[in-house]
Amino acid sequence: MVGSGYVGLVSGACFADFGHDVICVDKAVEKIEALKKGIIPIFEPGLDALVESNVKAGRLSFTTDLTEAVAEADVVFIAVGTPSRRGDGHADLGYVYAASSEIAAAIKGFTVIVTKSTVPVGTGDEVERIIRETNPEADFAVVSNPEFLREGAAIEDFKRPDRIVVGLSDERARAVMTEVYRPLYLNQSPLLFTSRRTSELIKYAANGFLAMKITFINEMADLCERVGADVQDVSRGIGLDGRIGSKFLHAGPGYGGSCFPKDTLALAKTAQDYDAPVRLIETTIAVNDNRKRAMGRKVIAAVGGDVRGKKVAVLGLTFKPNTDDMRDSPAIAVVQTLKDAGAIVSGYDPEGMENAKQMMDIEFASGPYQAAEGADVAVLVTEWNEFRALDLERLKSVMKSPILVDLRNVYRAPEVEAHGFTYTGVGKTEEVTKV
Ligand code: UDX
């Protein structure tokens, strides 16, 4: 497994748990040293136990020596980062190409090279060209095998996938990949073989569709606020239709994370390059970007239209619960909008504080009630379980004015208003409190 980040480490540990022998490779010496000591550099529920048990069983090891790891391997997964390239939003494939040429030089015997990183359509062809040019004698096949792992649920998603997608054209590679995924295949997880380019596109199409689905319900939320409807009931009412499905229909501050923002942008760019623009995805990107700042303005409106010199408590900073990941978190744009309007911001997150401190210049509190001390308004941005049953009396007692803006509709207006709060949700009609 070349690359021991979110995808590589989870995939490597899960493959080891299937009974395969796995070597996780990474250039970052300190990361590998930490992993060898059983220190997991990312927050992913259950990962530390999974790594520990498989290291103990002798099926999982860590090294910075790619050459030795590749020489022994039947299958080499490329799971390195493919961030958005500065400036133009294309996927930056520098790490993928560098890994490909290093792998090429180390291949011994027939080896299947698998791109697990999310890579634009056609990348597999480029990887194949690089390997062939670097090592003309190499006997290999390049295969696409995208991951569909959600952060915070990655192990579950790996072990009980809705499907496994493998893009290839080489029969020997097909036999090897069937063997690699046999434990899942036997559990009836569909193993879908496609062409390599089809497999690469499936990944982008999946993330693009999910991002669009979220953006759809977010726009429905705005309409609900105007027409006096309830977006959670709209979501339930359409989600019960089997053709729509109820997942990913929760209105919120907009999607974030290391995937949707990057993958929608890369998909739009690829489509433009091939003169088949995906305008629905282009619109999804624009709507989502605007929404995050609009959420900041929602908070400003909740305190009467001016936050200059006022204190805002931000509950939740990560892009979603059960992760420490701050990449493209909506909280970043919400906080920036509030700061630009002169607000004093105090933030708290159960897991994201270390990462948030690298990205936000705000006060950091030790808990939700500390963040709310003297605050004119509290805004719930990330629906951590810890925020689902706040002691509203205690919260009210520490705040300067009891105003709650709930960007994830965790609470119901009546229950919050009963404690003397003014409540604003997303896509909820402002309950006109009976005078
Ligand atoms: C996503 C895809 O789900 C996963 O299959 C892919 O491999 C990687 O990208 P991830 O980014 O970890 O996974 O998180 P996800 O749970 O999909 O949420 C993405 C964003 O959408 C988060 O900001 C989340 O808060 C938001 N979201 C999700 C909503 O706003 N509403 C929803 O109903 C669901």
User: Which pLDDT does position 407 carry in this prediction?
Assistant: 98
| Beta carbons within 10 angstroms of residue 226's beta carbon | 8
User: Which pLDDT does position 430 carry in this prediction?
Assistant: 63
Locate 132 and state its tokens: 């062939």
Among protein residues, the one whose CA lies closest to atom 6 of ligand 1: 148
* Spacing, Cα 310 to ligand 1 middle (Å): 32
CA distances from 329 to 172, 178, 321, 350, 381 (A): 42, 37, 11, 15, 9
Locate 9 and state its tokens: 């480490």
Cα atoms found within 13 Å of the Cα of residue 227, Cβ hemisphere only: 10
User: Which pLDDT does position 9 carry in this prediction?
Assistant: 97
Closest of 126, 120, 134, 127 to residue 92, by C-alpha: 120
The residues that are catalytic are 259
* Spacing, Cα 210 to ligand 1 middle (Å): 8
Write out the H or E segment, with its range, that includes residue 143.
Answer: strand 140-144
* Spacing, Cα 150 to ligand 1 middle (Å): 7
| Beta carbons within 10 angstroms of residue 198's beta carbon | 15
Among protein residues, the one whose CA lies closest to atom 13 of ligand 1: 150
Most ligand 1 atoms within 8 A of CB, residue of 204, 220, 320 to mutate:
320
End-to-end CA distance of the chain: 64
* Spacing, Cα 384 to ligand 1 middle (Å): 14
Tell me the C-alpha distance between 207 and 255, whole Å.
11
Tell me the C-alpha distance between 335 and 329, whole Å.
10
Q: Do 6-194 and 230-424 share a fold? A: yes
Which string of b and e fits 28-49 if b means at least 16 CB within 10 Å? eeebbeebeeeebbbbbeebee
Tell me the C-alpha distance between 158 and 1, whole Å.
15
* Spacing, Cα 288 to ligand 1 middle (Å): 13
Q: Count of H helices and E strands in the chain?
A: 18, 13
Among protein residues, the one whose CA lies closest to atom 5 of ligand 1: 148
Domain ranges (residues) in the chain: 6-194, 230-424
> What's 257's DSSP letter?
S
Per-residue 3-state assignment (H helix, E strand, C coil) for 345-384: EEEECCCCHHHHHHHCCCEECCCHHHHCCCCCEEEECCCC
Ligand 1 binding pocket, CB closer than 6 Å: 147-151, 207, 210, 214, 248-250, 252, 255-257, 259-260, 319-320
Closest of 260, 261, 256, 221 to residue 238, by C-alpha: 221
| Residue 199, SS3 per DSSP | helix
Ligand 1 atom nearest 118 alpha carbon: 7
Q: What is the DSSP string of 6-73?
A: HHHHHHHHHHHHTT--EEEE-S-HHHHHHHHTT--SS--TTHHHHHHHHHHTTSEEEES-HHHHHHH-
CATH number of 230-424: 3.40.50.720
Ligand 1 atom nearest 214 alpha carbon: 31
Among protein residues, the one whose CA lies closest to atom 2 of ligand 1: 150
Among protein residues, the one whose CA lies closest to atom 28 of ligand 1: 248
Most ligand 1 atoms within 8 A of CB, residue of 255, 317, 325 to mutate:
255
User: Which pLDDT does position 42 carry in this prediction?
Assistant: 87
The residues with which 194 forms a beta bridge, in sequence order, are 167
Which CATH superfamily is 6-194 part of?
NAD(P)-binding Rossmann-like Domain (3.40.50.720)
Closest of 387, 393, 403, 376 to residue 312, by C-alpha: 376
* Spacing, Cα 274 to ligand 1 middle (Å): 27
pLDDT per residue of the chain (435 residues) written in tens, 0 to 9: 999 998 999 999 999 999 999 999 999 999 999 999 999 988 899 999 999 999 999 999 999 999 999 999 999 999 999 988 888 888 899 999 999 999 999 999 999 999 999 999 999 999 999 999 999 999 999 999 999 999 999 999 999 999 999 999 999 999 999 999 999 977 778 999 999 999 999 999 999 999 999 999 999 999 999 999 999 999 999 999 999 999 999 999 999 998 999 999 999 999 999 999 999 999 999 999 999 999 999 999 999 999 999 999 999 999 999 999 999 999 999 999 999 999 999 999 999 999 999 999 999 999 999 999 999 999 999 999 999 999 999 999 999 999 999 999 999 999 999 999 999 999 998 644 443
